Amino acid sequence: MIASALSNLWFGFGIAFQPHNLLWCFAGVLIGNIVGVLPGLGVLATISILLPLTYALSPVSALLMLSGIYYGAQYGGAICSILLNLPCHPPHAVTCLDGYPMTQQGKGGVALGLTMLGSFFGASFGIVQIIFLAPVLVSIALQFGAPEIFSLMLLGLLAGSTLAKGSPLKGVAMTCLGVLLSLVGTDVTTGTPRFTFGMIELSDGIELVALALGVFGVAEFLRSVNRVSPIASGLGRVRFRDMRPSRAELREAAFPVLRGTLVGSVCSLIPGTGPTIASFVAYALEKRVAKDPSRFGHGAIAGVASPEASTHSSVQGDFIPTLSLGIPGDSVMALLLGALLVQGIAPGPQLIREHPDIFWGLIASFWIGNVMLLILNIPMIGIWVQLTRIPYRYLYPSALFFICIGVFSTNNDMFQVGETLVIGIVGYVFVALRFEPAPLLLGFVLGSRLEENFRRSMLTAHGDLTVFLHRPLSATFLALCAALILGQTYFRLLRKQPLLEIPQDETAFE
């Protein structure tokens, strides 16, 4: 197994080292790193803006670049948290707790250096995990019939909407809404137009880009305008040579990095628990195992190294269910899956076999991208720090323009710009009523396949609903769904936090 994995990986490196792929991978991590540093601009908005531009690329290049944005932003996000005490990206919110005190003590450079090394280790572990786990999952998933796929999707959607932040009930509502939106357009089986309200433009369904940019772009700007405070910090001066940790500091960080990496890899395997939860769990774990927990919050190295490593291992591990099962664990993965669909590639267990260039090329590019990020970040840290000073008032109007032109360019159709605006305004109403937008995208991306597999199951089982319980794997997934719902209700009734105790942080969580 190891031999075949290695030869596949070798093949992947061959793909990823093709000059144009290398270029797009670099573009992705560079943009990701910039976005990670810029306060107020999210990964989701950026990936959605660039999504239409990737339509002209080959599927491999498109996916390399879009994924690069995702993990590149994690490096940038750490800079923001450690030097400026700004949780620009939710997974790094917890890094502020000990990273910023280290900066105040003049050890910001060391914190960053350790973060970079820990991140690289975490990411590498995550990649190895994909290489060995994804083929195993695929070999199981290839035996799935329609009922299993339906039950598994149900489990993925339920976990994605209830385990993430916010009220579980509202999360499920958003997921259902996403499924509903995916039904808009011509019904594949019968050709009946549904929910088009007589508009021909809607007969092809709602454009993924319009939905993503409406919800994560326009709605986000409507929410943040005049509410993002400008940054004032004189502490953010870090030079390359400040970043070298001493041997003692390295030794202090080694075990936390290892523990964080393991936490991250476990979290990445549970759908709905992405890097954000991983980093919080890792921090909590460090605090528990530490000999002197009182040091946390005052610049403990473990409090920086462990959550960062866990974020990165979880970010890479996130790709496992997406690539091997075609079921995304969070909204970033849903977008990447959407990008594949747009390219005309059906996600699912057959992906690795039918498009090995995409799968192995992507994995190889993760390593190349992570090395590029190390090279980008360590010597050029001064430039990144400068970037954090770009005020939001210049960012959002520019981003708004990119949204408009990006949506227009998907079909050269102004109707989509209007569609985005409407989705953005309605989306903001939901956000203002404290709904989380992420499950919406999950529901939207999986919705049509959910219906299709349900119909197919019912057709072959002659309308017998118990087919979902008669097949052992499907029954297992449904049992997990039931356990999830029961668990959530139980914790609700006990008036406790749902499943995981997450510290209340007003910027990242409700």
Partner 1 sequence: MESTGVHQQASWAQEFAAGCLVAVIGVGAAWIGKGYGVGTLQQMQPGFFPVAIGAILAAIGLTLAIGALRRRAREPAGETQILQNPDWRGWGFIIAGVLAFLGLGHHGGLAPASFACVFIASLGDRTTTWKQALALAVAIAVIGSIVFSIFLKVQMPIFGWASL
Q: Judge contact between 336 and 50, C-beta under 8 A.
A: no
Question: Which member of 136, 375, 405, 486 binds partner 1 (CB under 8 A)?
Answer: 405
Stretch that binds partner 1, among 114-122, 165-173, 253-261, 354-362 (CB under 8 A): 165-173
Distance of closest approach, residue 256 Cβ to partner 1, in angstroms: 26
CA 449/CA 444 separation, integer angstroms? 10
Q: Judge contact between 161 and 450, C-beta under 8 A.
A: no
Distance of closest approach, residue 230 Cβ to partner 1, in angstroms: 8
β-pair partners for 185:
194
Residues 425-484 close enough to bind partner 1 by CB under 8 A: 425, 428-430, 432-435, 437, 451, 454-455, 458-459, 462-465
Report if residue 421 touches partner 1, rule: CB under 8 A. yes
β-strands 185-186, 193-194 pairing: antiparallel
Stretch that binds partner 1, among 113-121, 169-177, 235-243, 256-264 (CB under 8 A): 169-177
State how far the alpha carbon of 366 is from the alpha carbons of 66, 127, 221, in Å.
11, 7, 31
116: nearest Cα among 99, 93, 97, 94: 99
Query: In the structure encoding, which two tokens stand for residue 78, read together?
Result: 């750490």
Question: Among residues 139 and 489, whose Cβ is nearest to partner 1?
Answer: 489
Question: Among residues 261 and 453, whose Cβ is nearest to partner 1?
Answer: 453
Q: Is 246 exposed, middle or buried (0-12, 13-18, 19+ CB in 10 A)?
A: exposed
Within 13 Å, how many C-alpha atoms sit on residue 328's CB side?
Answer: 25
Question: Which member of 19, 227, 234, 472 binds partner 1 (CB under 8 A)?
Answer: 227
Residue span 10-39 as binding mask against partner 1, x where in contact by CB under 8 A, dash where not: -----------------------------x
Distance of closest approach, residue 301 Cβ to partner 1, in angstroms: 26
Residues 67-126 close enough to bind partner 1 by CB under 8 A: 87-90
Residues 202-221 close enough to bind partner 1 by CB under 8 A: 216, 218, 220-221
Q: Judge contact between 119 and 89, C-beta under 8 A.
A: no
Distance of closest approach, residue 30 Cβ to partner 1, in angstroms: 16
Report if residue 240 touches partner 1, rule: CB under 8 A. no
Which residues are CB-contacts of 221 (< 8 A; sequence separation ≥ 6)?
A: 396, 399, 400
Question: Among residues 295 and 492, whose Cβ is nearest to partner 1?
Answer: 492
Report if residue 42 touches partner 1, rule: CB under 8 A. yes
Distance of closest approach, residue 115 Cβ to partner 1, in angstroms: 19
Q: Judge contact between 272 and 331, C-beta under 8 A.
A: no
